[in-house]
Each structure stands twice: as C-alpha cells, then as structure tokens.
Amino acid sequence: MSPARHVLAELAGLLACPECGLGLEPCDRALRCAQGHSFDLAKQGYVSLLTGASTKMTGDTPAMLDARAAFQGGGHFAPIADAVAAAAPADEPAAVVLEIGAGTGYYLARVLDTAPAARGLALDVAKAAARRSARAHPRAAAVLADAWRGLPLRAKTVHRVVSIFAPRNPAEVARVLRADGRFVVATPTVRHLAELVGPLGMVTVDPDKDRRLSESMAGHFEILDRTTVDYPMKLDRADIANVVGMGPSAFHDDGRDLAALPESLEVTASVTVSVYGGA
C-alpha cells in the first residue's frame, strides 16, 4: 500500500461522508460510511469526496501545478514555508494537520517535517493537485473536495489548519478545528512579486485583502499572532516563467513579455503569516 493510502486508512475516522456526514471507515480499496456510501481510494493515494452536482470550481491546472512545483523546488519560497511551520508547530501527540488548497503539498510537507508525530491531509479541488500532494510527504494523504461546499471532516478533529495563498472558509475551519487548534493563513502583501506585476501584467494583490481577511474571520476566530516575511529573491527567466505560470496570471497571458526582462532580476517575496485561534 502506498504511504498515502496507509495514512488515509488511518485518518478515515476523522473524515465525514459528504452525502450524509457520518464517519468513514476503510473497507478494501475504499472508504465507506455506515449508510453504505462508498468512495474509492485512488492508487495515487487520494480519495475523492466530491459529490452531488459537479462543482463549478476546477482549481489549478496540471501546467500551473508543474510551474509551482518547479518554482518551489528552487527553494525561493522556503522562508515562507519555514515561517508557516514555525507559526504554530503541530507538536501535540498524533496531531492532524489539514492544508486547504494544498496544491503541490509543499507547505504541508514542511509543517510535517517539523512535527515528527503529526499526519497531514492535503485538500484541493483539483485532481492534479490531489495526486501530487498525496506524494508530498510519507505522513500525508490527499482529499479531493471543494472547500466552499464544506470540509469533509468531522467536527473538532483537526489540530492545525493551514491555508497558503488559498481559499479559507472560516466557518467550516472553525467547525473542524479542535478547541485548542490553530489556523495558519498566509496571504501576499502588495509588495509580493511587485517587480513583476507591472512589466508582466500580472494580477495585482487587492490592497483591501487584510481587511477582508479580518472580516471573514470575525465571529469565528481571533488573531493570536501575525508576522510578515519579506525578502528579495534572485530569479532568472525560467524562475520568472514559473512564478507567472503558477499563479492566477496564468489565465491571462496578455501584455506579458518575458523576453524584455533582464536575464536575472531581484524580486520581492512578501507574505503575511497570521495565526488564529477559536474566538
């Protein structure tokens, strides 16, 4: 059995059937609830809990995920991953960490590296992301689900939830997080990749993002800690192509002219890492 399928079988009891909400149990190559709803374990180590009317959300494309994996593999976002892992270490015995919109699973893997007893679930609406993130760490598995339609987890089961440049759904996070749990959110500041935004016509960060984040959290969470990670990255053209290709700008290729950029460019990474606890 792949490590991810093993982790899924171990964590099945925390998962909730998306049809009826009952807990799931491993059964052959599937997870099943007491009412008989059954969800196959993919051989790549993820389970699809997407059901009902097919979701309108498609998530990132395989090409975006390839670009993201290549960029992350270059270590350019390692300080962000370190800050996320340090923000709320998952050091309780048998801690469970959920990453929403996990993409490649890069940040979840970093959190698990620093928490030797923890296991992780990478949740994403994109199949390509579920496949990839299931392989991100030997103590991780992946779930295909749309975070906006509810998190397919039972109440008060998770010790940490992380959302890095990804959807949040605070009401659902509050439901699945344990009373002493922590929710770690990373969002870009207006300085993030600013040197590329103009020349390449990339999607800009909404300057109101912080206020919207606080408003969406109000009533569910209170802020416990906030740090900004801000540093220069030395990027060559291949890195720049990847950082453009992995983000929302990948959907708009108007006005971009990579060739007009210098061979190598100093680009700012700037991210706010916020830690929330129950209100």
Ligand X SMILES: C[S@@+](CC[C@H](N)C(=O)[O-])C[C@H]1O[C@@H](n2cnc3c(N)ncnc32)[C@H](O)[C@@H]1O
Residues that bind Zn ion in the complex, under the rule CB under 5 A: 17, 19-20, 22, 33, 35, 37
Tell me how far, at minimum, the Cβ of 101 lies from ligand X, in Å.
3
User: Among Zn ion, ligand X, none, what binds residue 147 when CB lies within 5 to 8 Å by partner kind?
Assistant: ligand X
- Name which of 24 and 126 has its Cβ closer to ligand X: 126
Smallest gap from Cβ 28 to ligand X, in A, equals: 27
Q: Which of 50, 87, 96, 106 binds ligand X (CB under 6 A)?
A: 106
The DSSP bridge pattern shows strands 30-32 and 38-40 to be antiparallel
Distance CA 73, CA 63 (A): 15
Tokens found for residue 10: 């171990």
The three state secondary structure string of 126-193 is CHHHHHHHCCCCCCEEEEECCHHHCCCECCCCEEEEEEECCCCCHHHHHHHEEEEEEEEEEEECCCCC
As measured in angstroms, the least distance from the Cβ of 71 to ligand X is: 9
> Between residues 26 and 129, which has the closer beta carbon with respect to ligand X?
129
Which residues, other chains included, contact 171 with Cβ-Cβ below 8 Å and sequence gap of 6+?
Answer: 220
CB-side exposure of 148: number of CA atoms within 13 Å?
A: 9
Tokens standing for residue 229: 């990670």
The angle formed by the CA atoms of residues 164, 129 and 4, to the nearest 5 degrees, is 100
> Which amino acid is present at 89?
P
Q: CB count, 10 Å around CB of 78? A: 13
165 binds, among ligand X, Zn ion, none (CB under 5 to 8 A by kind): ligand X
- Contact pick of 11, 166, 177, 184 for ligand X (by CB under 6 A): 166
Q: How far is the CB of 61 from ligand X (least distance, A)?
A: 9
Write out the binding residues for ligand X, residues 122-151 only, by CB under 6 A: 123-126, 129, 146-148
Binding segment for ligand X (CB under 6 A), chosen from 53-61, 151-159, 207-215, 226-234, is 53-61
Is 68 a binding residue for ligand X by CB under 6 A? The answer is yes
Report helix, strand or coil for 36: coil
Q: Does 181 bind ligand X (CB under 6 A)?
A: no
Instruction: Check binding of 172 to ligand X (CB under 6 A).
Output: no
Q: Establish if 192 lies at the interface with ligand X (CB under 6 A).
A: no
Q: Which residues contact ligand X by CB under 6 A?
A: 57, 59-60, 68, 101-104, 106-107, 123-126, 129, 146-148, 164-167
